[in-house]
């Protein structure tokens, strides 16, 4: 019912030439993957080139961030939603923990970015997740619940139906320390219950909730076998065509 999504976040890696080489290698490796949606988030300078190279393939593209602004104007350094669509994006990652912790993206800012993305018809992938300190204090559900309350504030049902949630425990991102399938499932169930309470069961059932945090070819199948895990948001293992293709073609 919920089509899985395997999304790769290239972060601030790869020059344009490296991006093209990766997409060229990836295309044939995932050409038969019809049971999952494939999304790649290159750095801004590569998006147009790789999206053009991937035209006609089953690979979709995301930006790693979006401006809160929706009108063109004097906003040095910002990139707004229609510019992202113009270069081939269909999705955008919003509120990644690196943006929350290093670039001041509070949940209020994340909420404005969600509205900006939805305004332009981009599918937002909104990231939430607790730090290790918060988990050790037993506060993971409080923290994620608050992030959801604030980040998704004011969204309509129709807007939620166009949105994707990524649960990314901060302690598992880029650390090689993955949440166990049971730990991830517990939080995904919590998020689905939150969606049911804030919206309704139909929205809760329809929303894809991705797991992110050191997903690799050898742990993806176990994670994906959990009932509330609908895909993966992947950093490190998305940088090489072979490993990302293994994630896309995981054993069901
Ligand atoms: C991420 O960047 O969202 C991520 C989960 O990274 P990694 O897979 O490297 O942990």
Chain segment 114-165, per-residue pLDDT in tens? 999 999 999 999 999 999 999 999 999 999 999 999 999 999 999 999 999 9
The pLDDT assigned to 29 comes to: 98
* pLDDT above 90: residue 77: yes
* pLDDT above 90: residue 16: yes
The pLDDT assigned to 174 comes to: 87
* CB-based contact 135:175 (threshold 8 Å): no
C-alpha span between 155 and 151 (Å, rounded): 9
* CB-based contact 89:42 (threshold 8 Å): no
96 part of the active site: yes
* pLDDT above 90: residue 45: yes
Binned at pLDDT 50, 70 and 90, residue 243 comes out as: very high
C-alpha span between 214 and 175 (Å, rounded): 7
* CB-based contact 205:245 (threshold 8 Å): no
CA-based torsion, 141, 9, 89, 111: positive or negative: positive
Percent of the chain with pLDDT over 70: 100
The ligand 1 atom at the shortest distance from the C-alpha of residue 97 is 3
Once rounded to an integer, what is the mean pLDDT over residues 38-65? 98
Task: Quote the ligand 1 centre to 195 CA distance (angstroms).
Answer: 24
The ligand 1 atom at the shortest distance from the C-alpha of residue 216 is 8
Q: With helix as H, strand as E and coil as C, how does 82-101 read? A: HHHHHCCEEEEEECCHHHHH
Once rounded to an integer, what is the mean pLDDT over residues 214-228? 97
Could you tell me the pTM of the whole model? 0.97
Name the one residue in this structure whose structure tokens are 């050898």. 218
Scanning 132-180, the segments in alpha helix (DSSP H) are: 132-136, 140-151, 157-161
* pLDDT above 90: residue 252: no
Task: Quote the ligand 1 centre to 165 CA distance (angstroms).
Answer: 15
Nearest CA, atom 6, ligand 1: 235
Within 6 A (CB) of ligand 1 lie: 9, 96, 168, 173-174, 212-215, 233-237
Beta bridge partners of 38: 6, 59
As a whole number, the mean pLDDT across the chain is 97
Task: Provide the CA 80 distance to its chain's centre, in angstroms.
Answer: 18
C-alpha span between 182 and 45 (Å, rounded): 38
* pLDDT above 90: residue 1: no
Angle, alpha carbons 17-19-22 (nearest 5°):
110
Which of 93, 235, 239, 246, when mutated, tests ligand 1's pocket best, judged by the most ligand atoms within 8 Å of its CB?
235
Which position among 96, 98, 130, 226 bears the catalytic label?
96
Binned at pLDDT 50, 70 and 90, residue 178 comes out as: confident
Percent of the chain with pLDDT over 90: 97
C-alpha span between 213 and 57 (Å, rounded): 27
Superfamily name with CATH number, domain 5-248: Aldolase class I (3.20.20.70)
Binned at pLDDT 50, 70 and 90, residue 107 comes out as: very high
Nearest CA, atom 8, ligand 1: 235
The pLDDT assigned to 85 comes to: 98
* pLDDT above 90: residue 177: no
* CB-based contact 123:91 (threshold 8 Å): yes
The pLDDT assigned to 176 comes to: 84
* CB-based contact 3:37 (threshold 8 Å): yes
Provide the residue ranges of all domains of the chain, joining segments of one domain with +. Answer: 5-248
The pLDDT assigned to 98 comes to: 97
């Amino acid at each position: 019912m919920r089509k899985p999504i395997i999304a790769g976040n290239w972060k601030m890696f790869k020059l344009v030439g490296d991006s093209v080489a990766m997409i060229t290698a990836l295309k044939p490796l995932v050409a038969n993957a019809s049971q999952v949606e494939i999304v790649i988030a290159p750095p801004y300078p590569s998006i147009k080139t790789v999206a053009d190279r991937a035209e006609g393939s089953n690979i979709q593209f995301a930006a790693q961030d979006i401006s809160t602004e929706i009108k063109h104007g004097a906003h040095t350094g910002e990139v707004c939603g229609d510019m992202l669509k113009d270069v081939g994006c269909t999705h955008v990652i919003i509120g990644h923990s690196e943006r929350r912790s290093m670039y001041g993206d509070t949940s209020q800012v994340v909420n404005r970015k969600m509205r900006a993305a939805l305004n332009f018809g981009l599918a937002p992938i909104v990231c939430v997740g607790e730090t290790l300190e918060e988990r050790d204090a037993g506060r993971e559900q409080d923290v994620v619940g608050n992030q959801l309350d604030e980040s998704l504030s004011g969204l309509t049902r129709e807007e939620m139906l166009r949105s994707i949630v990524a649960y990314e425990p901060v302690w598992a991102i880029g650390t090689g320390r993955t949440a166990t399938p049971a730990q991830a499932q517990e939080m995904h169930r919590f998020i689905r219950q939150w969606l049911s309470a804030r919206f309704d069961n139909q929205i809760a059932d329809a929303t894809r909730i991705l797991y992110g945090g050191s997903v690799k070819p050898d742990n993806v199948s176990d994670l994906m076998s959990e009932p509330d895990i609908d895909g993966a948001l992947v950093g490190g293992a998305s940088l090489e065509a072979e490993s990302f293709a293994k994630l896309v073609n995981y054993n069901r």
